[in-house]
Structure 1
Amino acid sequence: MKLRDKMPELTGATEWLNGQVTKDELVGERPTLFHFWSISCHLCKEAMHHVNQLRDDYKEKLNVVAVHMPRSEADLNMQEIIKVAEEHEITQPIFVDGEHKLTEAFANQYVPAYYIFDREGKLRHYQAGGNVMKMLKKRVIRLVDEMEKPKECELS
Structure 2
Amino acid sequence: MKLKEQMPELNGATKWLNGKVSTSELIGEKPTLIHFWSVSCHLCKEAMPNINKFRDDYKDTLNVLAVHMPLSEDDLDLEEIKAAAAEHGITQPIFVDSEHTLTDAFKNQYVPAYYVFDKEGRLRHFQAGGSGLKMLEKRLNRVLGEMSKTK
The normalised TM-score by structure 1 is 0.96
Aligned to 2:84: 84
Between the aligned partners of 1:132 and 1:33, the Cα distance in structure 2 is: 15
Aligned to 1:62: 62
Between the aligned partners of 2:75 and 2:106, the Cα distance in structure 1 is: 19
Post-superposition, which runs of at least 4 consecutive aligned residues in structure 1 deviate over 6 A? none
**Paired residue secondary structure (1:102):** helix
Aligned to 2:39: 39
Residue-pair matches, total: 151
**Paired residue secondary structure (2:82):** helix
Aligned to 1:154: none
Offset at 1:132? 1.7
Aligned to 2:5: 5
Aligned to 1:50: 50
Between the aligned partners of 1:130 and 1:66, the Cα distance in structure 2 is: 15
User: Structure 1: which amino acid aligns with 2:6?
Assistant: K
Between the aligned partners of 1:106 and 1:36, the Cα distance in structure 2 is: 10
For structure 1, the residue ranges without an aligned partner over 5 or more in a row are 152-156
Between the aligned partners of 1:125 and 1:118, the Cα distance in structure 2 is: 9
The normalised TM-score by structure 2 is 0.99
2:114 counterpart of 1:102: no
Aligned to 1:20: 20
Deviation string 1:47-95 (CA, Å, 9 cap, x unpaired) is 0000000000000000000000000001000000000000000000000
Between the aligned partners of 1:130 and 1:85, the Cα distance in structure 2 is: 18
User: Structure 2: which amino acid aligns with 1:133?
Assistant: L
**Paired residue secondary structure (2:89):** coil
Between the aligned partners of 1:150 and 1:80, the Cα distance in structure 2 is: 42
User: Structure 1: which amino acid aligns with 2:125?
Assistant: H
Offset at 1:149? 1.1
For structure 2, the residue ranges without an aligned partner over 5 or more in a row are none
**Paired residue secondary structure (1:36):** strand
Deviation string 1:81-121 (CA, Å, 9 cap, x unpaired) is 00000000000000000000000000000000000000000
**Paired residue secondary structure (1:105):** helix
Offset at 1:2? 0.2
User: Structure 2: which amino acid aligns with 1:135?
Assistant: M
Offset at 1:130? 1.2
Between the aligned partners of 2:150 and 2:125, the Cα distance in structure 1 is: 21
